[in-house]
Amino acid sequence: MSDVTTRSTSSNTDLAANQETEKVLQDLQKAKQEAEDASRAKDRFLAVLSHELRTPLTPVLMSLAAMEINGDVPEAMRGDIAMIRRNVELEVKLIDDLLDLSRITSGKLMLRT
Protein backbone atom coordinates (compact mmCIF):
# COMPACT_ATOMS: atom_id res chain seq x y z
CA MET A 1 0.00 0.00 0.00
CA SER A 2 2.88 2.35 0.71
CA ASP A 3 4.23 1.82 -2.84
CA VAL A 4 0.90 2.87 -4.35
CA THR A 5 0.75 5.98 -2.14
CA THR A 6 4.34 6.91 -3.01
CA ARG A 7 3.70 6.50 -6.75
CA SER A 8 0.46 8.48 -6.50
CA THR A 9 2.17 11.31 -4.59
CA SER A 10 5.08 11.29 -7.05
CA SER A 11 2.65 11.36 -9.97
CA ASN A 12 0.75 14.29 -8.42
CA THR A 13 4.02 16.14 -7.82
CA ASP A 14 5.10 15.56 -11.45
CA LEU A 15 1.71 16.74 -12.71
CA ALA A 16 1.90 19.91 -10.57
CA ALA A 17 5.46 20.59 -11.76
CA ASN A 18 4.41 20.10 -15.39
CA GLN A 19 1.44 22.43 -14.93
CA GLU A 20 3.67 25.05 -13.31
CA THR A 21 6.21 24.73 -16.13
CA GLU A 22 3.44 25.11 -18.71
CA LYS A 23 2.13 28.22 -16.93
CA VAL A 24 5.61 29.76 -16.81
CA LEU A 25 6.08 29.03 -20.53
CA GLN A 26 2.72 30.62 -21.34
CA ASP A 27 3.59 33.67 -19.23
CA LEU A 28 6.95 33.98 -21.02
CA GLN A 29 5.30 33.70 -24.43
CA LYS A 30 2.75 36.36 -23.47
CA ALA A 31 5.51 38.68 -22.18
CA LYS A 32 7.52 38.13 -25.37
CA GLN A 33 4.51 38.95 -27.54
CA GLU A 34 3.79 42.10 -25.51
CA ALA A 35 7.43 43.20 -25.83
CA GLU A 36 7.36 42.62 -29.60
CA ASP A 37 4.09 44.55 -29.89
CA ALA A 38 5.56 47.42 -27.86
CA SER A 39 8.67 47.44 -30.03
CA ARG A 40 6.59 47.63 -33.22
CA ALA A 41 4.51 50.45 -31.72
CA LYS A 42 7.73 52.30 -30.81
CA ASP A 43 9.07 51.88 -34.33
CA ARG A 44 5.83 53.21 -35.85
CA PHE A 45 5.89 56.13 -33.42
CA LEU A 46 9.50 56.99 -34.27
CA ALA A 47 8.79 56.80 -38.00
CA VAL A 48 5.81 59.16 -37.70
CA LEU A 49 7.67 61.44 -35.30
CA SER A 50 10.71 61.71 -37.55
CA HIS A 51 8.51 62.50 -40.54
CA GLU A 52 6.56 65.13 -38.62
CA LEU A 53 9.75 66.72 -37.30
CA ARG A 54 11.65 66.58 -40.57
CA THR A 55 8.89 67.83 -42.90
CA PRO A 56 8.85 71.44 -41.68
CA LEU A 57 12.65 71.61 -41.68
CA THR A 58 12.95 71.32 -45.47
CA PRO A 59 11.30 74.68 -46.23
CA VAL A 60 13.29 76.26 -43.38
CA LEU A 61 16.55 75.04 -44.94
CA MET A 62 15.42 76.20 -48.40
CA SER A 63 14.54 79.64 -47.06
CA LEU A 64 17.87 79.91 -45.27
CA ALA A 65 19.73 78.93 -48.44
CA ALA A 66 17.84 81.59 -50.37
CA MET A 67 18.69 84.17 -47.71
CA GLU A 68 22.36 83.21 -47.82
CA ILE A 69 22.62 83.87 -51.56
CA ASN A 70 20.43 86.96 -51.49
CA GLY A 71 22.58 90.03 -51.90
CA ASP A 72 20.04 92.22 -50.09
CA VAL A 73 20.53 90.49 -46.72
CA PRO A 74 22.65 92.70 -44.45
CA GLU A 75 26.09 91.33 -43.60
CA ALA A 76 25.27 91.52 -39.87
CA MET A 77 22.48 88.95 -40.38
CA ARG A 78 24.53 86.51 -42.48
CA GLY A 79 26.26 85.05 -39.42
CA ASP A 80 22.91 84.51 -37.72
CA ILE A 81 21.49 82.86 -40.84
CA ALA A 82 24.50 80.52 -41.05
CA MET A 83 24.12 79.62 -37.37
CA ILE A 84 20.41 78.87 -37.83
CA ARG A 85 21.18 76.71 -40.89
CA ARG A 86 23.85 74.74 -38.98
CA ASN A 87 21.45 74.10 -36.11
CA VAL A 88 18.62 73.02 -38.40
CA GLU A 89 21.01 70.69 -40.25
CA LEU A 90 22.09 69.24 -36.90
CA GLU A 91 18.45 68.64 -35.97
CA VAL A 92 17.87 66.89 -39.31
CA LYS A 93 20.88 64.66 -38.62
CA LEU A 94 19.60 63.82 -35.13
CA ILE A 95 16.20 62.91 -36.55
CA ASP A 96 17.84 60.73 -39.21
CA ASP A 97 19.98 59.03 -36.56
CA LEU A 98 16.90 58.35 -34.45
CA LEU A 99 15.15 56.78 -37.42
CA ASP A 100 18.27 54.74 -38.27
CA LEU A 101 18.38 53.45 -34.70
CA SER A 102 14.78 52.34 -35.02
CA ARG A 103 15.59 50.60 -38.33
CA ILE A 104 18.60 48.86 -36.79
CA THR A 105 16.63 47.54 -33.81
CA SER A 106 13.86 46.28 -36.08
CA GLY A 107 16.33 44.56 -38.42
CA LYS A 108 15.50 46.79 -41.38
CA LEU A 109 19.00 48.27 -41.48
CA MET A 110 22.20 46.28 -41.11
CA LEU A 111 25.47 47.72 -39.86
CA ARG A 112 28.60 46.98 -41.87
CA THR A 113 31.74 46.19 -39.96
pTM equals 0.62
Over residues 34-89, the pLDDT tens digits come to 999 998 888 888 888 888 888 899 999 999 999 999 989 998 899 999 999 999 99
CA 74 – CA 71 distance, rounded (Å): 8
CB 68 within 8 A of CB 85: yes
CA 16 – CA 57 distance, rounded (Å): 61
Alpha helices in the chain (DSSP H): 2-54, 57-69, 75-105
